[in-house]
Amino acid sequence: MRIRNRKINPTMVELIYGILAYGIVVLILMTVLEPSFGIIEKVFNDRFLLILIGFLIGIGISIILVMLMTRTIENIVSGGGYGATKQSVIGSLTRSGIVILAIVILLVTHIANVFSMLFGLFGLKLSAYFQPITHKLILKIKKGR
């Protein structure tokens, strides 16, 4: 798979799959637990729809952050180390700025629950931890074809 004559980083794809798997599992749990017990609304102290929207925003931001991290790393590696520290800092500040901007927007507009958005951002962390497992699963699926 190529975008603009560049090969897509397979680790990035595996991380995105991991984030999506996390999102699907949590969404299933949320939809099962909420009607039965009302646990989700009690924990987040908000309406279920706002919690759901916040979580989906967090998942979306996680995917964007993975793509930005991949781009930053590829630029640093392809640059031969020249200006690597500067590129790394700029990439890190960009990702942090996106998260802070999203938090501020949600706090000001009240269109979604901020804490559930942060819970969605955990998908990035869990995906990174489970990436070796995701890699093995993808290899097994490719072998089966």
Please spell the DSSP secondary structure of 91-122, one letter per residue: HHHHHHHHHHHHHHHHHHH-SS-HHHHHHHHH
Contacts of 13 (CB under 8 A, 6+ apart): 1
Angle between helices 84-109 and 114-129 (to 10 degrees): 150
Q: What is the pLDDT of residue 38?
A: 77
Q: What is the pLDDT of residue 57?
A: 97
pLDDT at residue 1 is higher than 50: no
Task: With beta carbons less than 8 A apart as the criterion, state whether 44 and 106 touch.
Answer: no
Written as six digits, the tokens of 133 are 């497992």
Return the domain boundaries, the chain. 2-144
20-49 pLDDT tens trace = 999 999 999 988 887 777 777 887 788 889
Task: Please state, as a whole number, how many other Cβ atoms lie within 10 Å of the Cβ of residue 138.
Answer: 14
Residue 79, φ and ψ in degrees, nearest 5: -80, -5
DSSP state, residue 9: P
Summary mean pLDDT of the chain: 89
37-93 pLDDT tens trace = 777 788 778 888 999 999 999 999 999 999 999 999 888 888 776 788 888 899 999
